[in-house]
Structure 1
Amino acid sequence: MDRISELPDELLVKILMSVPTKVALSTSILSKRWEYLWMWLPKLEYLHRDHCSEPGCKRLQSFLDRNLPLHRAPVIETFRLESCSSHFKPENISMWVSTAVSHCLRELDILHDDTEPAKSNILPSNLFTCESLVILKLVGEILLDVPRVVSLPSLKTLKLQSVRYFDEETLQWLLSNCPILEDLEVDLRDYDDESAGKLTVVVPSLQSLSLYIPYCQDIDGFVIETPNLKYFKLMDHSISDHYCLIEKMPCLIEAYLEVKLPDMKSIIGSITSVKRLAICSEAIMMLGEGFVFNQLEHLEVCFCTLFSSDRVIELLLKASSNLKRLDFSFMDHHVPQGMVYWNQPTTVPECILSSLQSFSWSKYTGEPEERDIVVYILKHALHLKTATIKSSESSAVPKFEMLEELALSPRASATCQLMFD
């Protein structure tokens, strides 16, 4: 007998936990000593890349049907299943999940790309009364049909991406029975034939919320009441006319807003206590000057916003009197566009004179409109410590020329370090 096989079962199981489940299962053929060790694994992951062919799926289905009910681990820490086709029958998946739940399941992660969505009800009822469940992630063609009896007292993380909801009350009913939920991510479906109706998130315990509404999603509106939220990400790309009602978030630390809504008042009004804000919205100018970010220290503005109006910089800077860091950049996958002519503010915003310490510009082209803004900030920022300029590869202005021009421009701060990338 080899030396490894002489180790106690507990140590061998720990060794198997360090390799993919597929590899761990293959050790069962080594000897009688290894035959059933995998059944004590607390982490089970069955990924589509390992079983994506029809024969592979059938073999896995037969294996799980036969062996999962015999699993011996008292606690299954993680059960992860990725299905890339309709080879798995919904009733089989439901049975596997139900079995995992019976082992004090702590994390369930399912990705299910079924070509027959009408058959996508794969969640057993006992999942919704699992007292041990801490993390639940559902992605793809999964019908979320929450039963009348729901109790998830330990659930802290919930991710719902492109799932189908039984009706517009489903999500609200589920959330109302998660008393300590802290992290919620909801991505609505792209190109869905059915309207999402009203989306309601009322969770007092929530600390992190990410909401994605795609371009073609028909939604009536959304309501958010999360008084203890610390992180808020809203990507609202919908072109349909809809309302948003958001209660104030006094504990908010960081927010990421990427929205097309013409009415931003409810959103901005709820996040005025935020400390770090990234924003992309051409509708920001619709607000006027009635809002104040009195705790904002770090502001990142997407060029889509910056280039939409000649007064958007002035508006944001005047509202942020304690700003310490200012970044201009493109958010993910956003396409560059021409900048409008910039009118300098009649009075220098307070943050530039008193608090701004760091400034950066990504994909700088050296065009007059961009140069004027950078020169203005260098000229007036009394406490600026660093100014970082990252040039654009597509710029028509030679890199050396644009950088030399900025290097020779006047700076209000004698300690400002100008860096080029």
Structure 2
Amino acid sequence: MAGRGKWKQCCSKGLSQRLEKEDRISQLPDPLICQILSHLPPNENVKTSVLSSRWTSLWLWVPRLELAWWHFDNFNAFKSFGDKFFDSNRSSCIEKLKLAVKENRDYVDDDASYLKSWIDAAVKRKIQHLDVWCSMDEMMPLRLYNCETLVSLKLCDVTLDDVDSFSLPFLKSMQLKFIWYRKEATFERLVSSCPVLEKLKIVDRCRFGNGKVFQVLSRSLKKLIILIGKKDPKLRSFLQDSGTRFVIDAPRLRFLRVDDKLSESFIINDMDFNAKVDISLPFGLDVFDEASISSRRSSIRSFLPGISKVEEMTICRHTFKVHMTNSTFESLLYK
């Protein structure tokens, strides 16, 4: 009997040793495991906490996270995960964060204040790449406007409050989509506060609480993409009534793409000869007869000199028609 017990003990020990050897991933250092976990959906990350006592909280320290409401069965599970991950007592750095938040119709009193606290926590933890999509036009926290670690920023369906100053010293890439700006100056301050900004993309429904002029003022910007008014009838009505205008002053700009169906005026300070432009700009017109085009004559005159020196130019047929009709009209007018 003693021999049989000893034999079982040896077998158990051997099995334990084999299992220990097979579980190679648990032998890795915590930072490396966290890097691996960051490639999993958040709800899968949580499941790893039951593997052993060591794994209980590893999911809370991942440096990259894509947290979207559709990853969870219900709103409570989504919010609970976020509250734990963004606990104010945690100090580990967050390299990359993508947040997708949908309005919670089950909670009438829910003001999405949790989103502000999550972004606040990310800024405190030295976020470098931030991507926020929110279906509620939620106001962004003030701390975000002075984040000294951000390298790239994507915002969609959010509101930017008017502040005296922004400070984003390392931001190189920014995308703004469906944004509500409390004041006209908010957009201008945001762009001009990024001393190393190289790429800016502006997409649809960019709205001001008041004001009509988007000013892109940047000494570092190299690539600018503006896409406005493709499939948004409400936006079309809003912008056509407001007479929205763009003014671009970016001396280092090397690539410009404009597909703007709504803006009535577009002024570009001289682009360099080695720049490339791709323009679809009907100056807010739906009808391209002589009477309509003549109403935009001053806007066309102001626009053309800014792109006259560029090396490579692509122009859509509507923009070309506007230009040619205006040129023909003016040549007849001054003969």
Q: Structures share a fold, TM > 0.5?
A: yes
Cα distance, 1:84 vs structure 2? 2.6
SS of aligned partner of 1:74:
coil
Find the aligned partners of 2:223 and 2:208 in 1 and give their Cα distance. 29
Find the aligned partners of 1:257 and 1:71 in 2 and give their Cα distance. 50
Cα distance, 1:171 vs structure 2? 0.2
Q: Note the alpha carbon deviations across 1:222-277, whole angstroms, 9 max, x for none.
A: 21101111111111201x7x322210110653222111124434333222333333
Structure 2 counterpart of 1:58, which letter? N
Match for residue 275 of structure 1 among 311, 322, 325 = 311
Contact persistence 2:100–2:132 (CA under 8 A): yes
Structure 1 counterpart of 2:75, which letter? C
Contact persistence 1:74–1:103 (CA under 8 A): yes
Q: Note the alpha carbon deviations across 1:368-410, whole angstroms, 9 max, x for none.
A: xxxxxxxxxxxxxxxxxxxxxxxxxxxxxxxxxxxxxxxxxxx
Q: Note the alpha carbon deviations across 1:157-198, whole angstroms, 9 max, x for none.
A: 1111011110111101112211111111112318x7976611
Q: Cα 1:28–1:287, aligned 2, differ >3 Å: closer, same or farther?
A: same
Match for residue 260 of structure 1 among 267, 279, 282 = 282
Match for residue 220 of structure 2 among 189, 193, 205 = 205
Q: Cα 1:20–1:73, aligned 2, differ >3 Å: closer, same or farther?
A: farther
Q: Which residue in the other structure is 2:24 paired with?
A: 3
The TM-score with structure 2 as length reference comes to 0.75
Cα distance, 1:91 vs structure 2? 1.2
Q: Cα 1:43–1:252, aligned 2, differ >3 Å: closer, same or farther?
A: farther
Contact persistence 2:226–2:257 (CA under 8 A): yes
Cα distance, 1:70 vs structure 2? 5.7
Contact persistence 1:157–1:183 (CA under 8 A): yes
Find the aligned partners of 1:74 and 1:252 in 2 and give their Cα distance. 44
Find the aligned partners of 1:143 and 1:252 in 2 and give their Cα distance. 36
Structure 2 counterpart of 1:200, which letter? Q
The TM-score with structure 1 as length reference comes to 0.61
Q: Which residue in the other structure is 2:39 paired with?
A: 18
SS of aligned partner of 2:100:
strand
Tell whether 2:196 aligns with 1:174. no
Q: Which residue in the other structure is 2:289 paired with?
A: none
Q: Which residue in the other structure is 1:39 paired with?
A: 60
Q: Which residue in the other structure is 2:331 paired with?
A: none
Gaps of 5+ in 2: 1-19, 230-235, 284-292, 294-298, 329-335
Q: Which residue in the other structure is 1:224 paired with?
A: 248
Q: Which residue in the other structure is 2:147 paired with?
A: 130
Q: Cα 1:231–1:187, aligned 2, differ >3 Å: closer, same or farther?
A: same
Give the aligned CA root-mean-square deviation in angstroms. Answer: 2.7
Find the aligned partners of 1:60 and 1:89 in 2 and give their Cα distance. 15
Q: Which residue in the other structure is 1:102 paired with?
A: 124
Structure 1 counterpart of 2:266, which letter? C
Aligned residues between the structures: 280
Residues 111-150 of structure 1: pairs in structure 2 closer than 5 A: 111-114=133-136, 117=137, 120-121=138-139, 123-140=140-157, 142-150=158-166
Residues 265-344 of structure 1: pairs in structure 2 closer than 5 A: 265-288=301-324
Q: Which residue in the other structure is 2:10 paired with?
A: none
Contact persistence 2:63–2:93 (CA under 8 A): yes
Cα distance, 1:25 vs structure 2? 2.8
Cα distance, 1:92 vs structure 2? 0.6
Structure 2 counterpart of 1:184, which letter? L
Cα distance, 1:286 vs structure 2? 4.7
Cα distance, 1:154 vs structure 2? 0.6
Contact persistence 1:46–1:80 (CA under 8 A): yes
SS of aligned partner of 1:94:
helix
Q: Cα 1:247–1:193, aligned 2, differ >3 Å: closer, same or farther?
A: closer
Structure 2 counterpart of 1:106, which letter? Q
Tell whether 2:75 aligns with 1:57. yes
Cα distance, 1:290 vs structure 2? 11
Share of identical aligned residues, percent?
A: 29
Q: Cα 1:13–1:71, aligned 2, differ >3 Å: closer, same or farther?
A: farther
Greater helix share, 1 or 2? 2
Gaps of 5+ in 1: 292-308, 310-421
